Chains A and B, each alone.
Chain A
Amino acid sequence: MAHLELKDVSKSYGPVEVLRDINLQIADGEFVVLVGPSGCGKSTLLRMIAGLEPISGGDFLIDGAHMNDVRPRDRDIAMVFQSYALYPHMDVGRNMGFSMEIRKEPTETRRSKVAEAAQTLGLSHLIDRLPKALSGGQRQRVAMGRAIIRNPRAFLFDEPLSNLDAALRVEMRLEIARLHQKLGSTMIYVTHDQVEALTLADRIVVLHGGDIQQVGSPLELYERPANRFVAQFIGSPTMNVVEVEGGETGVTTRNGTLISVPRTSDTRRATALGIRPEHLEVVDLNQGDLTAVADVVEHLGSDTNIYVKVDGIGPLMVRKHGNIPARSGDRIGLRIQVENAHLFAPDGTTLS
């Protein structure tokens, strides 16, 4: 268990700067998810915390101790790799107990700890198998077993679920959440999947282009995104963003519809309006703010997704809880829940 601190940390490969001035405090026992599109530097950041990638600038501290030049083996951090990285020539038991083998702990202690971890993860019957004789989910469990057996100061996960099929991913996600509850350890988790981020995290760090875009709890990010990137990255389905012209009391869409948005800050600076699909209401024709034509209707049972086209604005997506009898080609009215709408300035920042 540990408190991690990144101060002005940066990383460059030659002239290419991949991470800039990263400042982040991770509290003891916190579950932090680093999320962002591929190439945003999230895995590099994780590898720098692990010690597998040198830190180009800034400081990294664990419990106040400077870690920049400490070797991975001396940081007392465990990592679960995307590829699982199980040692192919060792059976499950030896894979899990390898760290203890290296530290020359007595065979008896090793065996009982391995047995205990195997029990926790439901791997007891596989202890003598080689990794090649395991399924993807089982390999994933072994990789996690290898990490928890060490009782490290912090756990790092590098997209651990991306090689699993959808059903297994949900199952393992739950398992990781349970593990965190049980161990109460500091965990840092890298993913590009915002669903994983929203469901697992105490706090989410959104990275894009080498910068931290926003740090906050899942709900904060969903309800109060700091900028247009976060707004569109977090939340599924993606937020609709419409180009608008700012005015005194509201904004005007390109087809001339005036939408009054109550805001304290200057709405005149707004150039885009963001509205999540679940915050667009389907109303009778000519009752709402916009008139739309349903393009594709997806009935998911619990929800209905309607892809609509609005003249002069373009395509939007509407999500409605439950089933509605809309069909492709129908003309419907849409009402924007202005209290849930977001306005963005030309540089992408949110106007509160």
Chain B
Amino acid sequence: MSIMRRRHPLFAVGKYAALLFYLAFALFPLYWLLKIALTPDALIFSEGTRLLPSAMTWSNFSAVLFATDFLAYFGNSLIVSLGTAFVTTLVAAGAGYAFSRFVFAGKKIIIAVMLITQMFPLLMIIAPIYKIVADLGLLNSLTSLIVVYTAFNIPFATFLMQSFFDGIPKDLEEAAMMDGCSRFQALRKVVFPLTLPGLGATLGFVFTAAWSELLFALMLISRNDAMTFPVGLLTFVSKFSVDWGQMMAAGVLALIPSCLFFIFIQRYLVQGLTSGAVKG
């Protein structure tokens, strides 16, 4: 370390400037979302692209919360996303463990098929999915969304979980079995606590994917009381006008659960995303 040449102070300035630029670039859409949500309707068009509105109001928020079906959409989304996240993570953990630890016939084929499912553009399979769901009589139900989302997220989530299990040395389970555990006890007492970061990361990933999914929700749900939040957002677009203020307010509110979820799992996530890669 002592050999390292001292960097020019300008280098540090440049580094922070670059970081700052990136941060501004990434956060600007969020800022704009918040700004429009807080701008009174009358000023949205008259003030154009001013960075700060001359007046602010909470009325968009109160309108969204109390005058629209937003809360219902929100609730639907929560059910769908949490349902998807838990079911997917459960299945992916089981499958990932099997891929990581067991040798069984057809393992390679199953992995290959799972990879192939990830290669199709979603648009291509929307029609067949619609047909299947309709034949099952599940249109306009949240269950259909949970089933479809789960099916689509399982392959990636499985590979993610597998890499976390791969990062846990096999010796640990074997030591636990020598210490008197059954395989399931070893899994519960030794492997599971060590996989928490992986489970957190997978939960978070699937939750966000389901939370922001629009295409399937749009196709499979048409009844107002079963709409998820992204579909509900479109109801702010009417034939003749778009209620930008309320739409943005709804958008801001929709960010809250995602943020809370990530704050909650963040420490697992950071640990998780690195540990899967380098831990031997």
Contact = CB atoms under 8 A, between A and B. Distances in A.
A291 to B, nearest CB: 53
B172 A72 contact: no
A81 B182 contact: no
Contact of A85 (B174, B181, B182, B193): B174
A83 B171 contact: yes
A78 B178 contact: yes
Contacts of A73: 177-182
Contacts of A72: 174, 177-178
Contacts of A86: 175
A85 B175 CA distance: 6
Nearest to A98: B179
B178 A87 contact: no
Interface in A84-101: 85-89, 98-99
B176 A50 contact: no
Contacts of A146: 175, 179
Contacts of A98: 176, 179, 189
A347 to B, nearest CB: 38
Contact of A79 (B175, B182, B193): B175
Residue of B175, B176, B177, B180 with highest tally of chain A CB at under 10 A: B175
A285 interface: no
Given A73-B182, A102-B181, A102-B185, A87 B171 contact: no
Contacts of B178: 50, 52, 72-73, 77-79
Interface in B160-216: 169, 171-172, 174-182, 185, 189-190, 193-194
Given A72-B177, A78-B178, A85 B169 contact: yes
A182 interface: no
A50 B171 CA distance: 13
A147 to B, nearest CB: 9
Contacts of A125: none
A256 B172 CA distance: 59
Given A85-B169, A87-B190, A102 B180 contact: yes
B180 A103 contact: yes
A82 B193 CA distance: 23
Contacts of A102: 179-181, 185, 189
Nearest to B192: A89
Contacts, number: 56
Nearest to A73: B180
A274 B5 CA distance: 58
A87 B177 contact: no
Contacts of B169: 83, 85
Contacts of B174: 50, 52, 72, 79, 81, 85
A99 B194 contact: no
Contacts of B176: 87, 98
Nearest to B181: A102
Interface string B144-170: 000000000000000000000000010
B107 to A, nearest CB: 15
A98 B181 CA distance: 10
B275 to A, nearest CB: 10
Contacts of A79: 174-175, 178
A173 B255 CA distance: 60
Nearest to A75: B178
Nearest to A78: B178
A77 B180 CA distance: 10
A77 B175 CA distance: 11
Contacts of A81: 171, 174-175
Residue of A72, A83, A89, A146 with highest tally of chain B CB at under 10 A: A72
Residue of B176, B178, B185, B193 with highest tally of chain A CB at under 10 A: B178
15 contacts: A71-B182, A73-B181, A73-B182, A79-B178, A81-B175, A82-B171, A83-B169, A83-B171, A85-B169, A85-B171, A85-B175, A89-B194, A98-B179, A102-B180, A103-B180
Given A87-B190, A146-B179, 19 more contacts: A50-B178, A51-B177, A52-B174, A52-B177, A71-B182, A72-B174, A72-B178, A73-B177, A77-B178, A78-B178, A81-B171, A81-B175, A85-B174, A85-B175, A98-B176, A99-B179, A102-B179, A102-B180, A102-B185
The 3 closest A-B pairs by CB, nearest first: A85-B171, A85-B175, A99-B179
